Amino acid sequence: MSAVVSEEHQSERLDVFIPSVGEGMLSRSKTQALIVEGRVTVNGKVVDKPSYKVKPGDVVLVRVPPVEKKEIKAEEIPLDIIYEDEDVIVVDKPRGMVVHPAAGHWEGTLVNALLGYYPEIEGVGRGDRPGIVHRLDKDTTGLILVAKNERALAALQRQMKTRAIKREYIVLCRGSFKEDLGTVNAPLGRHPRDRKRMAVIKDVGSGKGREAVTDWQVINRFGSDYTLIKANLRTGRTHQIRVHMSYIGHPVVGDPVYGHKTAMSEVKGQLLHAFRLGLFLGEDYDQYKEFTAPLPDDFRQILLQLEHKYGEEIPSWVIE
């Protein structure tokens, strides 16, 4: 990859500049390693110091070694299948399961499990994520949609693009929401300093932020400490609900990236559950269906504790 330094990056460290223009391709630590290895040049000369300060007009070239492709293995991993027909599979994903193989997670992913359950899915869509229509973060639980063939994948991707698919989440957030419902309309993009994180990008004209809209509605308030909400995605950006809730001052409980430490020692990840999924199925994809997945037991138990402590009755549809 190559880039020309603009005025806004004046005197920026080389190991900061490269990730900022790389659209998430390289983390800062990976960039530092490439610089030390002599894989980065500035104006045609090798620069091996990550602290080198760039200047406007500098031409930076990074020679990234090719990534060794690993074979994605089929594995016999139990799947909680909510619905299946000849075209789609709707899976209730557990906490801790990565959706598709990537560096550090070549085994034990949802894709490994799908290949073991339905080998014919290999080759549907992208090679590293066959059949995957959308993603959930590793510690986000709930419903995820999988296409079993190319025709289904194309149809479901169209529904995603036209926002015909309904995705509703149950979320426990910190603090007390003042209003009963609302919308967060804040574009998201890669964090300018930490490329593994997302952030609200206010300067839409920069081209670094993409439209992101989340509707939310309060289900329960637990004093001034916590609020249980349902959130609906109009768009599907990486970490969207987590970033949006943190942005409005109500981070998701248990979120290790966008939240803060919680007194709930039993929380092992963000309390964010993909509860409802609505989409059009059938031969002509004109039959609307909705699916729901119950809260995972750890999330449910925490809500029952809050219900008891604060005397706030949680609707039966949430905890049953």
Amino acid at 92: D
Give 156-194 as a DSSP string. HHHHHHTT-SEEEEEEEEES--SSSEEEEE--EEE-SS-
**Total count of residues recorded for the chain:** 320
Q: Distance between CA atoms of 320 and 299, rounded to whole angstroms? A: 12
The DSSP 8-state label assigned to residue 207 in this structure reads S
Q: Distance between CA atoms of 247 and 230, rounded to whole angstroms? A: 17
Q: Which residue is catalytic, options 58, 87, 92, 137?
A: 137
For residues 251-267, one letter each, b for 16 or more C-beta atoms within 10 angstroms of the residue's C-beta and e for the rest, the string is bbbbbebbbeebebeeb
**Would you state the structure tokens that stand for residue 185, as one six-digit string?**
């309309």
What string of H, E and C letters represents the secondary structure of 73-140?
CCCCCCCCEEEECCCEEEEEECCCCCCCCECCECCCCHHHHHHHHCHHHCCCCCCCCCCECCCCCCCC
Which residue, chain included where needed, has tokens 């804040």?
A: 186
**Would you state the structure tokens that stand for residue 35, as one six-digit string?**
């610089």
Catalytic-residue membership of 284: no
Where on the phi/psi map is residue 86: left (φ > 0), alpha (ψ -120 to 50), or beta?
alpha
Which residue, chain included where needed, has tokens 């016999």?
A: 76
Chain centre distance of CA 240: 7
Alpha carbon separation from 204 to 161, 188, 211, 259 (Å, rounded): 20, 9, 9, 25
Catalytic residues, by residue number, are: 137
